[in-house]
Amino acid sequence: MKVEEHEKAYEEHKKNIDRAIEEGIENNQRNIGYNISQGSAELFAIFLHKLHKIQGSGDQIDHRIFKSDSLIKKKIPFDFPSKKEILDLMREIEEERNALCYGSRKPKERIEKAIKSFNALREVINKKLSKEEKDKNGKSK
């Protein structure tokens, strides 16, 4: 997918997360689990596109790879800023996905933890993208 398509998909997932939080996380854990996982994969794809680590339509980031060290090494062998921190957050999010989407009702604290992981990922990626943009424009090297 093109970066613009990832951005549209990310915005859709983000709106769904915000709506589910507004309506009450305990009654929307499945919606939250799904949209956090997919939204994270879209945000990560945007990040890699903007760093020129992936190109065009052939490169897809499947959320399932983040549960496996061997798949991560195979699919994401290159370096990028904050790699360990980002991949650790992606793993946390993916580990919660199935529990929230398919399991029995979880405690509110567990759903909140997944939301916090998503927000932490957003913060790390947005900071790195902002820094990359500033460096690209020559404002703060």
Give the model confidence (pLDDT) of 56-74 as tens digits: 655 678 899 999 999 999 9
Euclidean distance between CA atoms 10 and 102, whole angstroms: 22
Q: Which helix (H) or strand (E) holds 21?
A: helix 3-23
Domain assignment present for residue 34? The answer is: yes
Using a pLDDT cut of 70, give the percent of the chain over it.
95
Phi/psi for 76 (5° steps) reads: -135, 65
Over 50: is that where the pLDDT of 1 sits?
yes
Per the structure, the complete domain to which residue 103 belongs is given by 3-136
Residues 6+ apart with CB under 8 A from 7: 42, 46
pLDDT at 139: 61
Domain assignment present for residue 141? The answer is: no
Tell me if the pTM is above 0.75: yes
Domain assignment present for residue 43? The answer is: yes
Residue scoring higher pLDDT (78 or 103): 78
Mean pLDDT of 78-95: 95
Domain assignment present for residue 106? The answer is: yes
Contact (Cβ atoms closer than 8 angstroms) between residue 3 and residue 47 = no
Q: Number of folded domains in the chain? A: 1
Domain assignment present for residue 41? The answer is: yes
